[in-house]
Structure 1
Amino acid sequence: MDLSMNKLSNRIPREIGGMQNLAHLSLRQNKLQGSIPDSMSSMVGLESLYLSHNNISRIIPKPLEKLHNLKYFNVSVNKLYGEIPSQGPFKNLSSQVFIHNEALHGSSRFSVPPCPTSSKHRSNRKILLVLFLLLAIAVIFVPTTFVLLWIRHRTGKRAPAQAESLSTIRTERISYNELLQATDGLSKSNLIGFGSFGSVYKGILSNGTAIAVKVFNLQVDVAFKSIDTECEVFRSLLHRNLVEVITSCSNLDFKALVLEYMPNGSLKKYLYSHNYFLDIRQSLSIMLDVACVFEYLHHGCTSPVIHCYLKLSNILLAEDMVAHLSDFGFSKLLGEDESDLYTKTLATFGYIALGTCHEPNRGPGRDEHLEL
């Protein structure tokens, strides 16, 4: 996994230790802070670990000596201090992988000062280390616990109102005039996205609920097929990482879907804008969200679903930065006899999966490619 040069900030999450089968991890040239988590010693399959050119501080965890498969390791240009581990994979490392840190010491072969030998000094150092760790735990976990409790308190208060609001929407039909009023007559100022088959507008209903209105371009013949496909797909799916279709509105001259509004926009905005950034925890969470929803689409449904239109602008982010998959206009529902192949080539050129034109009979593998 190479996440280098991505301007990632904050701490390396402790949960990363659960990736026990990961062989290569590069987080170099980011803005990571805090310490190297001890949990990384559980990544027994790790062969290379690059953490250079960050703002990582504190000591190099001694439990990393357990990583017997580790061959390449680099923590240069950081703010590390303390003793360099000398056993396990550290026996074969050169001094270059530790240069430009604050106060590392250890074996002479690492070109660092020797460790203090005075028992009194060692005792004082241990006491200071324990005090420092206790202070760090207090500084980190006390505010974090307070914030989590505050968020839970606010969520507990808002959740019933939001559920009641959405429940009201689902039990009432939304008329064409109500949609026009909610979007200021489909005003350009409320336009939040557009494509070959239609446009998406932000709207505010009379009860204050924010919605997204996907208006189809009826001048395009394929748009009718897209409407039918989305309705058919969403009628059979239910997953926390899918954009929810609240209702629909249709007459002879107008067809639209009323969708759950995603206030943080698309993943593309965060990856291609200088004004928005994702830290490493958010990045991992979004990757897991997308993986979970595709596992559900391919293997968790009665009839597997192939999305066929996976791109960054179709991965939308809710207020809590949970990723939601949208735009099922090109999707394909597979029957029991179609689980491995079908013959019709789906998706638009420019966003079509690599190899589709040459191997059109592939099934769920079509969703393995992401258009950036």
Structure 2
Amino acid sequence: MAHERSRFGFRPNTVQDVWHLPENTKIGKFATGAMCSSDESRFKLSTCDRVWRCRGERSAACNILQHDRFGSGSVTNLWTKVQRGKAKRGKAQRGKAQRGKAQRGKAQRGKAQRGKAQRGKAQRGKAKRGKAQRGKAQRGKAQRGKAQRGKAQRGKAQRGKAQRGKAQRGKAQRDLFIERFCMTGGSSPIGYLKAWQTNLYLSADAEKVREALSEGIAAATMFMSNKLTEVSQTQLRVAFDGDAVLFSDESERIFKAQGLDGFFQHERDNEDVLLDRGPLKDFLASLGKLQKKFYAKGHRLDCPIRTYLVTARSAASSGIRALKTLRAWGLETDEALFLAGAPKGPMLEKIRPHIYFDDQMFHVEGAAEMGTVAAHVPYGIAQKHPHKKSLNTGK
């Protein structure tokens, strides 16, 4: 190889005669141009002598001596063939190496693709299993919810059945004459009240009571006392508060806004102006109609129904307007008690009504403490501004 490089190193500056090869022919590691030249015009296998000549000068005949001890052909041709064979083998080896590299790359890409496909398949399988598990969990949850709702509904139905049985037994024990009876299965009965022309709706459910009041039906929330007093067995006694029960909450609003002095001044200025109706006005009117039937038969003193007005108003300053309003409506109460701010509990204990109606929980709780069954009427401004114990007047 060193000899080859030394021969080709002088090519551009020496004679351009000996070899004429196709353009870009590759000899060994050296590529020729249109012409490849050599300094060897005489070849020997025994010695290596060189004859140098100038550009364009031909070799003398005496300097040309052919040696062909190895048969036909020449050393130049042999050397060229050797170099071309070597080039072909190198090209074949490089092609083989490139094909091997391509095959290895293809194998690696195939392996990577198969791995990616396997991972994708595993992930899809995992996702499917997760989806199946979530679906199973959701179905289980839905089934448990359905079972719980069914259990709750059965329990509700059983309690309703028990309550109806209790109501029927109570009716039988007390010998009550009840013709109309409605069992709603736990749904709201408010829609039926107007159709039945209900005069009074009592319930322990405050929301249903508010719903009834919004429909214009007299209603109140029941509160039972732990200390029950003995009541009359021959006479029904019903006691009412005035403002926001029989009357509107107009005066109560004045009291909340202007205080006691403003309330008294307002009542004096409007003494001849009737109060607006309150939520239980129609119930008092219904009781009055029943009373008049007994009055017509001469049972005024021993009438089995007796009504009471128990109000914190004072008789001298603000009670007159309340009485004038009742008379203008054609209504009356058998007794009217103007307490001028005094507690109502002790007075109710003496009256011993079967039920007492008030719009303020302060008075309802006070009545219950004295053993009176009280009912709260959730109406008027007092629901937004609860009554304080220190302010026991003006209503």
When normalised by structure 1's length, the TM-score is 0.23
Q: TM-score, normalised by structure 2?
A: 0.22
Decide which structure has greater helix share.
2
Structure with max Cα Rg: 2
**More strand per residue:** 1
